[in-house]
Amino acid sequence: MSKIDIKLIQEVRERTGAGMLNVRKALEEANGEVEKAVEILRTKGAASAEKRAGRNTAEGIVQAYIHPGDQIGVLIEMNCETDFVARTDEIKNFAKDLCMHIAAFKPMYLSPEEVDQKFLEHERSIFKSQLADSGKPEKIVEQIVEGKVNKLYTEVCLLKQAYIKNDQFSVEDTLKQLIAKTGENIVIKRFARFEVGA
């Protein structure tokens, strides 16, 4: 496909945040199919993020957000490889958006690896007791419980939550797109959410 419609390019760019050239290449590879192009870009973004994952992230920013009404506040630390990238609008805007996301969606943990084991075991036991009288084989019960645990991660872990500005992607997917765009390893180091009376 030689001629790619500019509207398609804009649509894919809005959905993925990828550069113009990469979007054009992905659309050509996908024969103009938007969904396929988005999938190609997500795969490439994930691959380039994996390559950069081991790189040292000693620079970064701390972003603060106070929700109107002064009842909720959020602090987040994001790290990257260079001060130059830390000062870019992409990083600053993503950090600001994440602060609003955290204020709205109240994640308890950054990632599944950080989930408190006591909390996880408690939730697992609830899931198991819900299925106790189902008559399903133990193996099936275990699979259902694992499915419920994975769904729990999408509720309590920041990286697994659907991103506030585009719920087609998780926060983790959006972070990988940013890594692909900047060419640097970027990590969300930590966050804190404060709410009056909570």
SS3 sequence of 133-190? CCCCCHHHHHHHHHHHHHHHHHHHEHHHCEECCEEEEEHHHHHHHHHHHHCCCEEEEE
Q: Say how far apart CA 176 and CA 160 lie, in whole Å.
A: 12
Residue 166: how many CB atoms within 10 A of its CB?
A: 15
**What secondary structure, in 3-state letters, does 35-95 show?**
HHHHHHHHHHHHHHHHHHCCCCCCEEEEEEEECCCCCEEEEEEEEECCHHHHCCHHHHHHH
pLDDT digits (tens, 9 = 90+) for 26-67: 888 888 888 888 888 777 765 555 555 656 667 899 999 999
CA dihedral 82, 43, 14, 85 (to 10 degrees): 0
Question: Is the pLDDT confidence value at 135 over 70?
Answer: yes
Report long-range pairs for 118-121 (Cβ below 8 Å, ≥24 apart): 120/149
In the predicted structure, residue 16 carries a pLDDT above the cut 90: no
> In this predicted model, which residue has the larger pLDDT, 13 or 163?
163
Query: In whole angstroms, what is the distance from residue 24 CA to residue 20 CA?
Result: 6
Helix (H, G, I), strand (E, B) or coil at 117: helix
Can you read off the two tokens belonging to residue 158?
């920041």
* pTM, entire model: 0.70
**What mean pLDDT is predicted for residues 84-103?**
94
Quote the mean pLDDT of the chain. 87
Domains and CATH numbers, the chain: 6-52 (1.10.8.10), 59-110+157-195 (3.30.479.20), 116-155 (1.10.286)
* pLDDT > 80? residue 20: no
The number of C-alpha atoms within 13 Å of 77 and in the hemisphere containing its C-beta is 7
CA gap 163, 105 in Å, rounded: 10
pLDDT given at position 27: 86
Instruction: Answer whether residue 1 shows pLDDT above 60.
Output: no
